[in-house]
């Protein structure tokens, strides 16, 4: 089950307080995740999140100093899910990630609501999304440049523009998916764009 023996011989006693604290923090983050995805950051309150978690406000504040701390924990949870990817070539990896996103309840709603809300510089998530968009642009541009060097990027397609287009397409198609998930396939849209700008296939793709 993990852990080390402290001589008590009782894993429950040994890990109890720490495990309970970690479980409580996770419960609070899970409820904040749902509330933020539904009402946004500004439209929600710590009292509301505490009630959803079945605890008092003082208990929540024992684990998180304020709503900003809780938002950052929620965003970190979202990033943790995003890192659980397959070891796939770049084109397949982003398509697979889009497919996974649709299968995680509330993930796309959370991201879309907070990304729109955080455009103002006074929002506590503003710097997070600035860094995220810059990181995505740089990472995807490198990937497209590597594909160009391998002769796999269609003539006339600039890596920087292709990277920006993927980000814009992904964001927009996920927003449409929130409205009509039965009609919109974000992964298929991304695959369609990549098929337009790439030529040939690398071993392991598809």
Domain extent listing, the chain: 13-75, 87-197
pTM for the whole structure: 0.77
Instruction: Write the CA distances from 107 to 18, 53, 134, 177, 198, integer angstroms.
Output: 28, 19, 21, 12, 29
The pLDDT assigned to 184 comes to: 96
Query: What pLDDT is recorded for position 200?
Result: 81
> What integer pLDDT is reported at residue 55 of this predicted model?
94
Angle separating helix axes 90-103 and 107-117, nearest 10 degrees: 100
| 136 contacts 114 by C-beta, under 8 angstroms | no
Return d(Cα 5, Cα 34) in angstroms, integer.
Answer: 37
What is the CATH number assigned to the segment(s) 87-197? 1.10.357
Q: What is the pLDDT of residue 149?
A: 96
pLDDT score for 21: 83
CATH class of 13-75: mainly alpha
Fold matches, 13-75 and 87-197: no
Residues 6+ apart with CB under 8 A from 80: none
Q: Token pair of 205, please? A: 């793709």
pLDDT of residue 83: 67
Q: Low-confidence residues of the chain, pLDDT below 70? A: 1-18, 83-86, 201-206
Q: What is the pLDDT of residue 50?
A: 95
Give me the pLDDT at residue 2, please: 44
How much is the pLDDT for 7? Answer: 46
């Amino acid at each position: 089950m993990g852990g080390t023996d402290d001589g008590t011989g009782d894993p429950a006693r040994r890990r109890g307080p720490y495990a309970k604290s970690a479980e409580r923090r996770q419960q609070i983050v899970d409820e904040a995740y749902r509330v933020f995805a539904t009402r946004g950051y500004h439209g929600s309150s710590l009292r509301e999140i505490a009630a959803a978690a079945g605890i008092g406000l003082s208990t929540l504040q024992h684990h998180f100093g304020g709503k900003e701390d809780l938002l950052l924990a929620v965003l970190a949870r979202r990033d943790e899910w995003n890192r659980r990817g397959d070891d796939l070539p770049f084109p397949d990896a982003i398509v697979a990630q889009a497919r996974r996103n649709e299968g995680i309840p509330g993930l796309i709603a959370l991201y879309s609501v907070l990304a729109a809300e955080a455009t103002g510089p006074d929002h506590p998530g503003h710097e997070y999304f600035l860094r995220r968009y810059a990181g995505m642009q740089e990472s995807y541009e490198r990937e497209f440049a590597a594909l160009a060097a391998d002769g796999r990027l269609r003539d006339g397609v600039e890596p920087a523009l292709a990277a920006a287009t993927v980000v814009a397409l992904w964001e927009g198609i996920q927003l449409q998916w929130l409205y009509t998930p039965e009609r919109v396939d974000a992964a298929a849209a991304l695959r369609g764009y990549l098929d337009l700008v790439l030529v040939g296939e690398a071993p392991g793709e598809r």
